[in-house]
Structure 1
Amino acid sequence: MTTIPTQTAPWWKHGHVWLVVSGPALVVVAGIVTVFLAVKHPDAVIGGQEPARAARSGGPPQARALAPALEGRNHAATPDQATRR
């Protein structure tokens, strides 16, 4: 039985190799872009203790809307001071 020698192409000439390599490469590039955008345009920090203090003292509804999540959740069903009178 005789065997016929076959020519194999180098790895970079096969399309499925680039499909496998391009997935992780795109994820790395997207991560770098995300870090760049996060560093370049950080989110603004909203006030310190003023919203929480205004919410506890029964301030205006706009101030109560900025209350911390835990405090807002615990007092979500508490009626407003204005409607209680």
Structure 2
Amino acid sequence: MSPKTSQSGGRPAGGKRGGLGGMLTPARVTVLLLAILALIFIFENTRTTEIRLLIPEVTMPLWVALLGTGVIGALCGAFFMKGRG
């Protein structure tokens, strides 16, 4: 029998478990905790600040600028990780 077709202990080939246990890997838990900490940091900084966007200077709440920067960073990370998988 080929290793790809054999199964032991009722588990699917590749050793992956179903359910919640398969979803909660240490890397995913770490990313989730970092995202929660980032959101706490963002929403704790609510004062208004002046931000220079290339040429114009705009006044906005700091949390909007931090959240926008975080979303742009997450999108860039997702774009570059997409090619690795």
Q: Could you state the TM-score of these two structures normalised by the residue count of structure 1?
A: 0.28
Which structure shows the bigger proportion of residues in helix conformation?
Answer: 1
Bigger proportion of residues as strand: 2
Task: Give the TM-score of the pair, scaled to structure 2.
Answer: 0.28
Greater gyration radius? 1
